[in-house]
Amino acid sequence: MTENKHSFLEELVSQHGPALQRFLARKLRSPEEAADVAQETYLRLHKLEDLGKLTNARAFMFQTASNMAIDKLRRTILHEKYVEFEVQKEAKQDSSSPDRILNAEEQLQHIYQTIEGLPFKCRQAFLLHRKTGLSYSAIAEEMSISVSSVEKYILQALKECRKARSESQSD
């Protein structure tokens, strides 16, 4: 690269670089992406052989940057559409799969059976907390037991439910 081309590019970037970044930030709605596109623009200008022969280097720089920003926006939109399509496709496959639905129903049934098999006070504390949303202290008052007993019963119920879930998943 000739010294003349190097100094011409330096001058162009120092004079118009901040304006270019503001222009790109408005177009891309992101200062970070604007800085990236501006750098790519400078690199593209650096690769030009006849940079000094341009009649309006500023306009050429802005037009190059604008084209690169449009390309970036198109790629971003295309990428977002692809990701959205894949997520929807995956969700449709996962949620409506007959095997998955059957498996979930079996797991739920196994957990219901586990809850029914809990000792009476344990089941009562667990259901009062989970179904009616009562606090531990309200449950303790309702059942005429201590809060620590409520904690113990609910913990026992949760352990049994987790155990039942892991057993049904391994079947």
Tell whether the model's pLDDT for residue 88 goes beyond 90: no
Hunting for tokens 């894949």 — which residue is that?
Answer: 86
DSSP 53: G
CATH number for domain 3-94, candidates 1.10.1740, 2.40.320, 1.10.10, 1.10.3470: 1.10.1740
The pLDDT of residue 122:
93
Please spell the DSSP secondary structure of 112-162, one letter per residue.
Answer: HHHHHTS-HHHHHHHHHHHTT---HHHHHHHHTS-HHHHHHHHHHHHHHHH
Quick check: 64 and 45 in contact, CB under 8 A?
Answer: yes
**Residue 168 CB coordination number (10 Å):** 18
Domain with CATH 1.10.10.10 in the chain: 97-170
Domain with CATH 1.10.1740 in the chain: 3-94
Q: Could you tell me the pTM of the whole model? A: 0.52
Tell whether the model's pLDDT for residue 89 goes beyond 80: no
User: 118 CB contacts (<8 Å, ≥6 apart)?
Assistant: 126, 156, 157, 160
CATH number for domain 97-170, candidates 1.20.1730.10, 3.40.50.620, 1.10.10.10, 3.30.950.10: 1.10.10.10
Two structure tokens written together for 76? 């971003």
